[in-house]
Amino acid sequence: MSTAQSNALMDNKLRLVAPPHEKAVIKYDRPQQPTLSLRFKDNQPRFIVYTNVDGDKDNGRIEAAMDCYTLALVFETVIEMADRPDAEPVFIECKNFIYPGGKRSDAPVVVAKIVVAWDRNTGYLSLSVVSYDKSRPVIIFPIVPTEYHNVCDRSGNVVDTKTTSRLFAKGWAKWMSAIAAQISVKEHMSADEIKARKEANQQNRGGGNRSGGGNGGGWNKPQGGQQNRGNGNSNGGYNQRPAAVAADDVDDDIPW
C-alpha cells in the first residue's frame, strides 16, 4: 500500500515562485514569496498555491485538483503557447462538488481556474491558479529560470525576455510531465487503499501537516533588459517583478 512519502515533486527547486504580495507574510525579516507546487492525492494531481499573504484564508492555500489527462493538457498548453507569444490566455476550469450549509451541490461547480497566459507587463509566459472565491489574491507565476541561470547568446549577452521564457517553459513542462507520469504509476493506490488511508487520517486527525508554504527563497528571477545579476543572494531584487494583485481587480488589472 502506498503511503505518504517523499518524491521528486517535493523538491522545492521544482516549485514556481512569484514575487511577494504587497501584504506578504513577514518571516525572518523578509516578505515571503508565493509558491506553486504539483502534488498527487488519491491518484489525482493538483496544483497547490501558498499565497503567503497575511490574513489570507485557508492558511493561504489555493488548490486546483484535476485528473491526469487534464494535467497533461496543462503541460501541452504551456508547450504550445511557448511558441505563440501573441496567443490569447487559456483558462482551464476545475470543478467539484461543494457543500454550502452542509448540503452537497446538485452538480460540480467551478472551484478554481488554471490560467496559462503571456504576461503583458513582464513578457513572460505564466501560470496561475485562481480561486472561485473572489476575496482570494490572484498570484501570477512566471515560468522562468531561477537567479542562478541565464540564457545567453554566443557573445554572452542575456537573450530577450520572450526567448528566455519560451525555452524555459518548454523544458519545465516536459520535465514536470515526465516526473508526474512516473509518480502516477509508482504511487498508484487501489480504491481499497485510498479508503483505508482516509479512515486512518480520520482516526489520526488533530495534527496539522501544512506543506508547500513558508519561505519561497530561490524564486525565479527575470532575465533580459536591464538586469542586475547581483551576488546570488535571493534576499534582494524581488521588487524587480510586479506585485501580485487582488482578486477583485482581476477584470481590469490582471495582465492577461
Q: Which of 9-13, 103-107, 228-232 bottoms out in mean pLDDT, i.e. has the lowest?
A: 228-232
Q: Residue 122: phi, psi to the nearest 5?
A: -105, -25
Amino acid identity for residue 175 in this structure: W
Mean pLDDT along residues 161-175: 96
Q: Which of 125, 145, 144, 113 is nearest to 49 (CA)?
A: 113
Mean pLDDT along residues 101-123: 95
Mean pLDDT along residues 48-67: 97
pLDDT at 17: 96
Bigger pLDDT: 207 vs 174? 174
Task: HSE, CB side, 13 Å, CA atoms: give it for residue 173.
Answer: 24
Burial of 57 (0-12, 13-18, 19+ CB in 10 A): middle
Q: Which of 241, 46, 25, 248 is nearest to 147 (CA)?
A: 241
Mean pLDDT along residues 59-73: 97
Sequence-ordered list of residues with C-beta below 8 angstroms from that of 224, at least 6 positions apart, any chain:
123, 158, 159, 160, 161, 163, 164
pLDDT of 2 > 80? The answer is no
Q: What is the pTM of this model?
A: 0.79
d(Cα 26, Cα 30) in Å, to the nearest integer?
Answer: 5
pLDDT of 205 > 90? The answer is no
The pLDDT tens digits of the residues spanning 208-236 come to: 444 445 455 455 555 543 333 333 333 33
pLDDT at 4: 54
In degrees, rounded to 5, the angle at the alpha carbon of residue 134 between the alpha carbons of residues 95 and 81 is 60
Share of the chain above pLDDT 90, in %: 70
pLDDT at 253: 64
